[in-house]
Structure 1
Amino acid sequence: MSSIILPRSAARSLSRTTSSFRSRPSRVATRCLHQSSSPVTASPLRHRPSSKSWAPRVTVPGAAMARRTMFIQTESTPNPDALKFNPNQQVLPNSIKSPFIEYLTPRSTLAPPHPSPLAAKLLNIDGVTSVLIGTNFITVTKDSATPWAHVKPEVFAIINEFMISGQAIINTIEDKAGEVGQEGTERDSLEYDENDSEVVGMIKELLETRVRPAIQEDGGDIEFRGFVDGQVLLKLRGACRTCDSSTVTLKNGIESMLMHYIEEVQGVEQVLDQEEEIAMAEFAKFEEKLRQHRGPSAASSTVGKGSLDYVD
């Protein structure tokens, strides 16, 4: 094994370094008694952690923040200007005896005895002319000049808002001045009355069991106005009131059935309100002016094979 030989100068420097390390006193890790101990204080920026109840932070997606909606079914009626909205729950309060209430003007939605905030908002839509609120459906009628594309979304939004929020659809206030603002606020005209004759009782029973369900399916209702000289006086409501086929419904449907079962019935007549009579008179004048403007040649030219007026 080979030995390492260091020069004398290197050996001297190494011995000096070693002796200096040995002569240096060791540090004492104790504190002198004359030093005052400073109290241990917490930094103002640091606080002892405290226990808090942990609650998970849930991020709600944008879709969940959307407004709640309910299922409202829309049904078409034989009247192209009337739609039936079914919210699948009761609409008319149980305190109202009549099976329907019809609002024909904005004033009627505020008048006693049954003002309706819902009908007021619906009649405020441009184009809406009447609102019929039934037991579990709402029929909205518009004018023929306004398309449903402009009316239907607003009607749906208003009905949805009332149904979800639980707002009162119809209120009841005392009618002190004798002002009746709505149609159909009295008791049900088809209800049994002990003062009715046998014939009237049979007419009401047939109307209640055979006619009313079909008319309510079409978004309307029916009123019995009397039986005079063999004629049954009826009033159509809702979608059936302004329907072009209402006359056909009365004559070919209701009249035929009543005359078949009750021999005392000789016919059925529709009772018109004053406003409806004026409207029908104005419409008749308008048709007469059109006929005169077209002339006999234009009128005869429209009657041909394939025309609605042609009879083979």
Structure 2
Amino acid sequence: MATPSISRSALRAVVRATPSLRPQSTRAASRCLHQRATPISSSPLHQRPRVQQWSPSAPLAGTRQEKRTMFIQTESTPNPDALKFNPNQRVLPDTISSGSLEYLSPRSTLAPPHPSPLAAQLLNIDGVTSVFFGVDYITVTKDSATPWAHVKPEAFAIINEYMVSGQPTVNTVEDRAGEAGQGGTETDSLAYSEDDDEVVGMIKELLETRIRPAIQEDGGDIEFRGFTDGQVLLKLRGACRTCDSSTVTLKNGIESMLMHYIEEVQGVQQIMDEEEEVALKEFAKFEEKLKQQKGPDAVKGTVGKGSLDFVE
């Protein structure tokens, strides 16, 4: 029996008309060459991405870890020898209710009840004479002979490194010998007390609401030491303690306000510690010696520029 023969052209036409008869290899090759697969097609060239579960891994040895940084602002004060540092976070622990501590010597940074490693490092800088801690700021005071260009960079670096480390700025230890190494009190001297009479209560309220915010803005603080014979006894700390215009601030600012609102107040007096009185006496002797050598115009009083008491 003879087998019928089919021409090539007829066979090609039959294959085109019947898709199931096309070779699979030819179809796949044709698709890869002439068609562009979509992202969701089943082509082996384009597959949907698989979601892989993330697993934390330890940092590779030798990789560089980024250091945590802090933005610290510095502010000038009416006292040209005092600079205020604002680290934008709390400086004193919550356990210290007084709201301020002052360190006047390296020995005070080690003495109870509140030794401070940060204050010790700052007082170790050449030219720094005192360190004052407010609730959220630090005031560094230097001597007049040392320029800020030598003090400020080192003080800034120490404060920044200490704040970033997260270590406490102030520690609290038991004071067994009754030695108070820091300037300041355990409790806020302007806090309300049931033992205060009406006049003392009014004085504290005015000092707390009207006077203390302005003094803290200048990098200092104020303590109430008593009310005797019409005289309000106050203690200035921080930048205001050694400021040339502190006496003017007491008389023209604080005294005028207290006498205006409270008729029982007849004046304001500044109380100084024993060390400060000795230093003032020595400075007075030094001024008198200069006057004798160079004349009365050799030493002139100054008022801090930028304060409320400065008038051009």
- The DSSP-based 3-state class of the residue aligned with 1:157 is helix
Once residues 221 and 66 of structure 1 are traced to their aligned partners in structure 2, the CA distance between those partners, rounded to angstroms, is 38
- The DSSP-based 3-state class of the residue aligned with 2:179 is coil
- The DSSP-based 3-state class of the residue aligned with 2:114 is coil
Q: After the TM superposition, which residues 3-82 of structure 1 pair with which residues of structure 2 at under 5 Å, given as runs?
A: 67-82=67-82
- The DSSP-based 3-state class of the residue aligned with 1:232 is strand
Query: Once the two structures are superposed, what CA deviation does each residue of 1:231-263 show, in whole Å capped at 9, x if it has no partner?
Result: 101000000000000001000000000000000
Q: What's the CA shift for 1:66?
A: 6.3
Q: For residue 161 of structure 2, what is the aligned residue in structure 1? A: 161
- The DSSP-based 3-state class of the residue aligned with 1:222 is strand
Change (3 A) 1:66 1:149: farther
Q: For residue 222 of structure 2, what is the aligned residue in structure 1? A: 222
Once residues 84 and 99 of structure 1 are traced to their aligned partners in structure 2, the CA distance between those partners, rounded to angstroms, is 16
Does the aligned pair in 2 maintain the 1:83–1:140 contact within 8 Å? Answer: yes
What amino acid is the match of 2:128? V
Q: After the TM superposition, which residues 256-267 of structure 1 pair with which residues of structure 2 at under 5 Å, given as runs?
A: 256-267=256-267
The root-mean-square deviation of aligned C-alpha atoms, in Å, is 2.2
Once residues 202 and 251 of structure 2 are traced to their aligned partners in structure 1, the CA distance between those partners, rounded to angstroms, is 19
Q: What's the CA shift for 1:69?
A: 2.1
Q: What's the CA shift for 1:293?
A: 2.1
What amino acid is the match of 1:250? L
Q: For residue 85 of structure 2, what is the aligned residue in structure 1? A: 85
Q: After the TM superposition, which residues 1-312 of structure 1 pair with which residues of structure 2 at under 5 Å, given as runs?
A: 67-295=67-295
Q: What's the CA shift for 1:177?
A: 1.1
Q: What's the CA shift for 1:65?
A: 5.7
Query: Once the two structures are superposed, what CA deviation does each residue of 1:176-203 show, in whole Å capped at 9, x if it has no partner?
Result: 1111111113200000011011111100
Once residues 95 and 160 of structure 2 are traced to their aligned partners in structure 1, the CA distance between those partners, rounded to angstroms, is 23
Q: For residue 310 of structure 2, what is the aligned residue in structure 1? A: none
Does the aligned pair in 2 maintain the 1:114–1:185 contact within 8 Å? Answer: no
Once residues 265 and 72 of structure 2 are traced to their aligned partners in structure 1, the CA distance between those partners, rounded to angstroms, is 41
Q: What's the CA shift for 1:286?
A: 1.8
Change (3 A) 1:293 1:93: same
Once residues 285 and 70 of structure 1 are traced to their aligned partners in structure 2, the CA distance between those partners, rounded to angstroms, is 45
Q: For residue 33 of structure 1, what is the aligned residue in structure 2? A: none
Q: What's the CA shift for 1:157?
A: 0.7
Q: Could you list the runs of 5+ residues in structure 1 that have no partner in the other structure?
A: 1-52, 303-312
What amino acid is the match of 1:238? G
Q: For residue 31 of structure 1, what is the aligned residue in structure 2? A: none
Once residues 107 and 144 of structure 2 are traced to their aligned partners in structure 1, the CA distance between those partners, rounded to angstroms, is 22
Q: For residue 20 of structure 1, what is the aligned residue in structure 2? A: none
What amino acid is the match of 2:111? A
Once residues 68 and 81 of structure 1 are traced to their aligned partners in structure 2, the CA distance between those partners, rounded to angstroms, is 31
What amino acid is the match of 2:176? K
Does the aligned pair in 2 maintain the 1:72–1:87 contact within 8 Å? Answer: yes
Q: What's the CA shift for 1:162?
A: 1.2
Which structure has the bigger radius of gyration?
A: 1
What amino acid is the match of 2:238? G
Residue correspondences, number: 243
Q: For residue 33 of structure 2, what is the aligned residue in structure 1? A: none
Once residues 92 and 99 of structure 1 are traced to their aligned partners in structure 2, the CA distance between those partners, rounded to angstroms, is 7
Change (3 A) 1:295 1:73: closer
| TM-score, normalization by structure 2 | 0.74
Once residues 110 and 140 of structure 1 are traced to their aligned partners in structure 2, the CA distance between those partners, rounded to angstroms, is 18
Q: Give the fraction of aligned pairs with identical amino acids, expressed as a percent.
A: 79
Q: What's the CA shift for 1:292?
A: 2.0
- The DSSP-based 3-state class of the residue aligned with 1:74 is strand
Once residues 110 and 214 of structure 1 are traced to their aligned partners in structure 2, the CA distance between those partners, rounded to angstroms, is 31
Once residues 223 and 213 of structure 1 are traced to their aligned partners in structure 2, the CA distance between those partners, rounded to angstroms, is 13
Once residues 199 and 178 of structure 1 are traced to their aligned partners in structure 2, the CA distance between those partners, rounded to angstroms, is 32
